[in-house]
Structure 1
Amino acid sequence: MEERSYKYRFDRRTLYWTILCLLALALLGVALYLLYEGGYLSAWFTSFIVALIALMALSIPRRIVLSPDKVSIRCLLDITEIRTADIASVRRVEKSEMRGLLPLFGACGFFGYYGHFLDLRRFERIRIYASEWRNFVEIADVYEERYYVSCREADEFVEQLARYIPIRPESLEDKAE
């Protein structure tokens, strides 16, 4: 079997939020420069914002690579791998189910939606790797970790990944009931 790659594509909402955030940070930087000319505050702010933007830019998800033995979520700097043998379930998630999420550490609209979020309905920490706030797929592993990814070919991704997930005895018992 060969690998299948699913690319992330930004939607308009993500692009608008990114531009808005960059403009707000630039305006704040210019205001600090004009108000505190040559001071430590403007130098600290500039260094902090440049480091923050660089860190966030390196964490942007670029593609999902699906192979028979693993799912790789590839960012510019990081690769998150989930072994298909460890996946308990995969399902398509509607946009309405994604309400009630609080970002703990990550981006919410700035070049996408990625990082660690708190699901306020279940009080669980989840991980999101999305370039648009739709076409979500939930991947739950046997360690009770939940990952949410988005791609325009979400139905195809779920179908392909379901082929590689092993059938577990407890899932057969659930179907028998």
Structure 2
Amino acid sequence: MIRAFDFVFSLLGLVLGFPVLLLLTLIGFLDTGSPVFRQERVGRRRKTFTLVKFRTMKLDTASVATHLACSSSVTRFGCFLRRSKLDELPQLINVFKGEMSLVGPRPCLPNQTELITAREALGVFDVLPGITGLAQVNGIDMSQPEYLAEWDRKMIDEMSVKNYFIYLIKTVLGQGSGDRIK
């Protein structure tokens, strides 16, 4: 049932949000010259996929977990995108393709071995990663891998249609800060 919600909401978001996506792409092009950011992430069953987001950092920024990135790498437009969470909109493509869900554990980088080990031990890779989830709306980032994996497991164990919508609504209303930059 959740996959059906993901499919419908991602399709609606892409179609209805197309003008916004186009505008943000154009502004992003003026900001960095390369508005779309693609990065390999670890998904369900530890299969890697290419995550798509709007670029919020300078082109020469190292590919590291967000909590390890330097705030001076974020552009002015990138600050706006992060604060408004609009940088996440292109991930609707990943949701539409079935690589992600709207709600699930945030996908990690392949080099985040501590987090991968902790998630593997708790069976977190049994589900699709998501754009938002329990950890994000509670301000828990990837800086504490084992703690994050425990929250991911808790979310999986308590997942229901009701909680799916609660996490989405809390995210839209701006609750939690998700992955923070130092």
Give the helix-richer structure, 1 or 2: 2
TM-score (norm 2): 0.29
TM-score (norm 1): 0.29
